[in-house]
Structure 1
Amino acid sequence: MFWFFLSLAIVSEVTGTTCMKLSAGFTRLLPSVAMAIFYCISLTSLTFALKKIDVSVAYAIWSGVGTALIAIIGIFWFREPANIFKILSLALIIFGVIGLNLSGGTH
């Protein structure tokens, strides 16, 4: 159940960050309100996940997977440039998250 909360926190954070981009600097109401809602869901879910998952592991996974997903969304949806350095950096983030999961981050 705690991994579900961490997954929900990641998806909500990524959705909130996407809404942040869509809000155009708070000039569009709906994406601005959605951003606040999704960040509240994300932080609440992360808090529940921390009841069982070590904070070092949970936060690294939350921020790492969120960063990787936002970079992928930026490349494919917002047409941000991609180069080999960006792709390799994303791969390193993913390998880091896998390593943290293998380290046994629950108590």
Structure 2
Amino acid sequence: MPKGLLYLAVAILAEVVATSALKASEGFTRLGPSLIVATGYAIAFYFLSLVLKTVPVGVAYAIWSGVGVVLIALIGWLVLKQPLDLAGMIGIALIVAGVTVIQLFSRTGAH
């Protein structure tokens, strides 16, 4: 796996962990979840900065945010039991399709 993709995967996972802990931080009034949020975002942005050495910012951000949105929506639905209607599922499918097109067909993608 190319370093750019590995760094991007780490950035995405750290961002997803941090975002998932936001609700538990209760507006940053709980120390443990708040530390997870701060640490997760710090790791995410650090690794995203490494990705940007080899991948254009627009492509990297599109993949990072798109995959992050999909994962957070799935965590919300599966773990937090938040409803996800048909329109939400279609929107998520379109995000996945967009990221797939970038990865498979763009010469500027994170290869």
Q: Look up the match of 2:32.
A: 30
SS in 2 for 1:53: coil
- Within the candidate set 94, 97, 100, 1:95 is matched to 97
Over the residues paired in the alignment, what is the CA RMSD in angstroms?
Answer: 1.2
Q: Look up the match of 1:42.
A: 44
Deviation at 1:104, TM superposition (A): 2.2
The worse-fitting range, judged by mean Cα deviation, of 25-34 and 86-95 is: 25-34
Q: Look up the match of 2:80.
A: 78
Mind listing any 5+ residue stretches in structure 1 that lack a counterpart?
Answer: none
CA distance in 2, matches of 1:98, 1:60: 11
SS in 1 for 2:23: helix
Q: Is the 8 A contact 2:60 2:109 kept in 1?
A: no
SS in 2 for 1:23: coil
Q: Look up the match of 1:105.
A: 108
Q: Is the 8 A contact 1:52 1:106 kept in 2?
A: no
Tell me the matched-pair count. Answer: 107
CA distance in 2, matches of 1:48, 1:41: 11
TM-score of the pair, normalised by structure 1: 0.95
CA distance in 1, matches of 2:69, 2:36: 19
Q: Does 1:58 align with 2:60?
A: yes
Mind listing any 5+ residue stretches in structure 2 that lack a counterpart?
Answer: none
- Which ranges of 4 or more aligned residues in structure 1 deviate by more than 3 Å? none
TM-score of the pair, normalised by structure 2: 0.92
